[in-house]
């Protein structure tokens, strides 16, 4: 796009919507990556630049959850090592994949991650944080490694998997979203560094996108606490169905 101000305005607006969606459910990158491509970026560059937006959003969104007292520290810290290991591998793969091949991988994984959310488990437990046992530790490590691998490679839709795992374990949706925000920040930090080293990040569009995402994330974090678990469960279900329909017809 020739007019840089129109481009930045589009990115800020789409980032705002994506920040709300990412915070309440997930899948905001389904919107932002195509928008970045529409504004003139190559697919792999759009994927890398999107991480800058994710990083800014996650930093501000996580801060909001933490200030409100809805941040499960143990559950989040359990994700650090496996998700970082996965993120390094995934981000490296994303830097060496050809543009045409990446388009095919992106379409495949977007469909796959959307289908996974249809099996999103429910739980009647009302836990506030993680309790470490042999079984829970092994399961969490495996899940977070996969989350890091996928998040490092593409990112789009990975929040649904994190949220599903947290709800299965017994956290409510608000705390599950806080964990998701922490993991997004963690994996985005590492993958962003790799993308910057590979010279794949375009900073001005990424900052405009991130500014919109940060505003949306902070607003949505505060709203999620007031709205409650039932609303968030319904919102996630609607988001999943909407993305599935979008991907099937696109």
Q: What is the mean pLDDT of residues 151-162?
A: 73
pLDDT tens digits along 81-99: 888 888 888 888 877 877 6
- How far apart are the C-alpha atoms of 220 and 85, rounded to whole Å? 30
Q: Name the band, by pLDDT with cuts 50, 70 and 90, for residue 2.
A: low
Q: In the chain, what percentage of residues exceed pLDDT 70?
A: 77
In this prediction the pTM is 0.76
Q: State the virtual CA torsion across 186, 192, 194, 199 in degrees, nearest 10.
A: 180
Question: What is the DSSP secondary-structure string of 118-159?
Answer: TT-------BSS----HHHHHHHHHHHHHHHHHHHHT-TTHH
Sole residue written with tokens 């991907």: 247
Q: What is the mean pLDDT of residues 33-62?
A: 90
Domain that holds residue 101: 4-249
Q: What is the mean pLDDT of residues 23-35?
A: 81
Judged by average pLDDT, the poorest of 182-186, 209-213, 225-229 is 225-229
Is residue 122 within 8 A of residue 232, CB to CB? The reply is: no
Position 189 scores a pLDDT of 87
Position 146 scores a pLDDT of 83
Q: How many domains does the chain have?
A: 1
> What is the CB-side half-sphere exposure of residue 79 using CA atoms within 13 A?
29
């Amino acid at each position: 796009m020739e007019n840089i101000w129109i481009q930045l305005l589009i990115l800020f607006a789409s980032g705002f919507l994506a920040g709300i969606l990412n915070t309440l459910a997930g899948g905001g990158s389904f919107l932002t990556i195509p928008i970045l491509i529409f504004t003139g970026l190559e697919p792999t560059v759009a994927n890398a630049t999107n991480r800058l937006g994710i990083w800014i959003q996650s930093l501000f969104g996580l801060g909001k959850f933490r200030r409100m007292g809805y941040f499960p520290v143990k559950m989040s810290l359990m994700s650090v090592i496996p998700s970082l290991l996965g993120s390094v591998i995934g981000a490296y793969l994303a830097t060496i994949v050809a543009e045409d091949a990446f388009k095919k991988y992106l379409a495949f994984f977007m469909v796959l991650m959307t289908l996974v959310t249809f099996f999103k488990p429910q739980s009647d437990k009302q836990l506030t944080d993680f309790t470490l046992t042999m079984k829970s530790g092994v399961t969490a490590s495996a899940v977070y490694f996969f989350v890091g691998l996928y998040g490092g490679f593409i990112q789009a839709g990975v929040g649904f998997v994190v949220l599903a795992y947290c709800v299965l374990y017994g956290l409510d949706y608000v705390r599950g979203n806080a964990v998701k925000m922490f993991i997004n920040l963690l994996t985005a930090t590492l993958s962003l560094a790799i993308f910057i080293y590979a010279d794949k990040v375009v900073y001005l569009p990424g900052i405009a996108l991130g500014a919109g995402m940060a505003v949306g994330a902070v607003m949505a974090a505060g709203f999620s606490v007031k709205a409650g678990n039932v609303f968030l469960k319904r919102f996630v279900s609607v988001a999943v169905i909407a993305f599935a329909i979008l991907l099937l017809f696109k």
